[in-house]
Amino acid sequence: MRVIDENGVQLGIMPIEDAQARARAAGLDLIEISPNAQPPVCKIGDYGRLKYEQSKKDKDARKKQRHFELKEVKLRPKIETHDYETKARMAERLLQDGSKIKVTIMFRGREITYAVFGRRLLDRMAEDMQPLATVEREPRLEGKNMFMILAPRAVPTGPPKYSAQHKQREQTSA
C-alpha cells in the first residue's frame, strides 16, 4: 500500500505491517484514504482529528445550503383585477426573497365545474412571474383546489411585472 506520513510526505509503497509499525511509533493511526486506488492509499495521522475536521466541513456545507421555504398564495376563480395584482405583487416579493410559491385556487360549490377559469388564472400567474420564477409543478386539480408550484430563478431574466407598475403609479400620482 502507498503510505503518506503526518506531514504529507509520500513514504512510498510498503507492506501493511511496516506502515502500522510506523504509525504506532509516531503515536498516530493508519487511516485508509483511498481504498479503491491501485495500490490503496493510507495516511499516518490522528483519526479523531480527521473525524472532527470532516464534521466541521459537513456542518459548514449544511450552513451554506439554501433551504427553500414553501409559501402559499391563495386565489379564487372570480378574482378582480386589482386583487389579482395585489396577490401577484406579494408573490413577486416572496420569489425575490428566495421562497418557493404554491399558488392555490380554491373552488367553492359549483365553481369546480369551471376549472378552466382556474387553469387560465394559474397560466396567467405563471406568465406574469416568468422573469422571476420557473414552473416547478404544472397546475393540477386535487379535490376542490387547483395548484401549481413556482420556484425562484437563480438569476431573474427581467424586472418584476407588478412591483414595477405599482412603483410607477406611485411616482406619477405624487
What band does 166 get if pLDDT is binned at 50, 70 and 90? low
Tens digit of pLDDT for each residue in 5-17?
888 889 889 998 9
Q: What is the reported pLDDT for 135?
A: 94
Establish how many alpha carbons lie within 13 A of residue 111's alpha carbon, considering only the half-sphere containing its beta carbon.
18
- Can you tell me the distance from the alpha carbon of 139 to that of 147, in angstroms, rounded to the nearest whole number? 5
Tens digit of pLDDT for each residue in 117-138?
999 999 999 999 999 999 999 9
Cell numbers at 88, concatenated: 401577484
Q: What is the reported pLDDT for 165?
A: 63
71 close to 98: Cβ distance less than 8 angstroms: no
Higher pLDDT, 64 or 87: 87
Task: Examine the pLDDT at 147 and tell me if it is beyond 90.
Answer: yes
CATH homologous superfamily for the domain 70-162? Translation initiation factor 3 (IF-3), C-terminal domain (3.30.110.10)
Cell numbers at 74, concatenated: 391563495
Write down the domain spans for the chain: 2-62, 70-162
CATH topology of domain 2-62: Ubiquitin-like (UB roll) (3.10.20)
Angstrom distances, CA of residue 32 to CA of 16, 46, 93, 124: 11, 12, 50, 57
100 close to 150: Cβ distance less than 8 angstroms: yes
